[in-house]
């Protein structure tokens, strides 16, 4: 087990303290002064003071350093404490959040028990593809799919920029018929295929083919990609949206919404609804105007 030595001294004594510490064979140290925000839960520093947290291999080394600091800086009150060792391979998991959106629960495999009574479970473990469900843009798409698919049982769905496949999987589990997801990133497509298998929807068509090489039209098209890419893709996204179909677009910041709206109105799409979450916006267009 590692041990740490905490010492808080006035700024003018910091140099002397550093010199003492340098001679004690420390493993490493952290210095905190008033320019840095205190870490969560840490008490604020006394005005005009700096704090050193020095790490040692064992209790003996830390206590020896404590003794030397007391000898040189009698006013300092150095404290020795054991350092709790964290299992970092597990700690990162605490930051992964599962989400419940309407009937859908999305979360990692180690949180499945949190799914509760959600009728639709989607397990996505974090990996190299975007889309663990907890980004506001993904959440808004999930909410729209949950709302729209019951009115369109068996609807065909195209998920442009599928990432982890989360939206394509959700669409199928919510009653869609044919579901196609594409992504320009081959790693994402591979991960989306694995996720489709894990979530028992291997029938999803997941491909690296760009939009222009995907034929046909779809009752519901969803694209969560950056606004500039959406504007570039506007003619192709409009062409893939069936007559009377819906096009859901997000990845758009509130400040970019108007530009995106205009790009799609030029293609004959009609804005039907606008949803927002924080700084992000989702625009729903329908293809009725061009019918």
Ligand X SMILES: C[S@@+](CC[C@H](N)C(=O)[O-])C[C@H]1O[C@@H](n2cnc3c(N)ncnc32)[C@H](O)[C@@H]1O
Residues near ligand X (CB under 6 A) are 129-131, 135, 137-138, 141, 159-163, 166-167, 182-185, 188, 211, 224-225, 229, 233, 251
Q: Taking the complex as a whole, how short is the minimal distance between the CB of residue 146 and ligand X, in angstroms?
A: 14
Q: Are 287 and 244 in contact (CB under 8 A)?
A: yes
Q: Taking the complex as a whole, how short is the minimal distance between the CB of residue 177 and ligand X, in angstroms?
A: 19
Q: Which is nearer to ligand X, 107 or 131 (CB)?
A: 131
Residues written for the chain: 291
Q: Taking the complex as a whole, how short is the minimal distance between the CB of residue 161 and ligand X, in angstroms?
A: 2
Q: Which is nearer to ligand X, 56 or 285 (CB)?
A: 285
* Pick from 267, 285, 289: nearest CA to 223: 285
Q: Taking the complex as a whole, how short is the minimal distance between the CB of residue 156 and ligand X, in angstroms?
A: 17
Using only the alpha carbons of the chain, give its radius of gyration: 27
Q: Which is nearer to ligand X, 25 or 255 (CB)?
A: 255
Q: Which is nearer to ligand X, 78 or 165 (CB)?
A: 165
Q: How far is CA 280 from CA 67, 107, 143, 249, 276, in A?
A: 56, 21, 14, 11, 6
Using the structure block, give the residue that is written with the tokens 């490493």: 28
Tokens matching residue 1:
């087990």
Q: Are 7 and 81 in contact (CB under 8 A)?
A: no
Q: Taking the complex as a whole, how short is the minimal distance between the CB of residue 150 and ligand X, in angstroms?
A: 20
- Pairwise CA distance, residues 193 & 54, whole Å: 48
Q: Which is nearer to ligand X, 162 or 284 (CB)?
A: 162
Q: Which is nearer to ligand X, 76 or 247 (CB)?
A: 247
Q: Taking the complex as a whole, how short is the minimal distance between the CB of residue 89 and ligand X, in angstroms?
A: 25
Q: How far is CA 88 from CA 134, 161, 278, in A?
A: 22, 32, 31
- Pairwise CA distance, residues 110 & 123, whole Å: 9
**Pairing mode of beta strands 241-253, 270-277:** unpaired
């Amino acid at each position: 087990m590692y041990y740490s030595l905490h010492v808080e001294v006035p700024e003018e004594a910091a140099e002397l303290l550093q010199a003492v510490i340098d001679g004690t064979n420390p493993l490493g140290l952290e210095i905190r002064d008033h320019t840095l925000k205190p870490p969560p839960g840490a008490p604020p520093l006394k005005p005009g003071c700096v704090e050193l947290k020095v790490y040692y291999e064992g209790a003996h080394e830390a206590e020896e350093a404590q003794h030397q600091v007391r000898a040189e800086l009698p006013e300092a009150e150095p404290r020795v404490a054991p350092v709790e060792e964290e299992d970092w391979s597990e700690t990162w998991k605490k930051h992964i959040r599962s989400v419940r959106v309407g009937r859908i629960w999305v979360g990692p495999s180690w949180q499945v028990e949190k799914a509760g009574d959600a009728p639709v479970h989607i397990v996505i473990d974090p990996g190299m593809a975007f889309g663990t469900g907890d980004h506001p843009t993904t959440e808004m798409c999930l909410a729209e799919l949950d709302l729209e698919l019951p009115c369109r049982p068996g609807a065909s769905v195209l998920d442009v920029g599928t990432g982890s496949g989360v939206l394509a999987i959700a669409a199928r589990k919510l009653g869609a018929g044919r579901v196609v997801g594409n992504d320009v990133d081959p790693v994402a497509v591979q991960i989306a295929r694995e996720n489709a298998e894990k979530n028992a929807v291997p029938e999803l068509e997941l491909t690296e083919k760009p939009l222009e090489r995907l034929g046909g039209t779809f009752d519901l098209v969803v694209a969560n990609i950056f606004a500039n890419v959406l504007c570039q893709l506007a003619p192709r996204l409009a062409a893939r949206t069936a007559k009377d179909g819906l096009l859901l677009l997000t990845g758009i910041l509130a400040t970019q919404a108007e530009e995106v709206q205009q790009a799609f109105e030029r293609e004959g799409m009609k804005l039907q609804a606008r949803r927002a979450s924080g700084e992000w916006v989702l625009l729903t267009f329908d293809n009725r105007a061009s019918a």
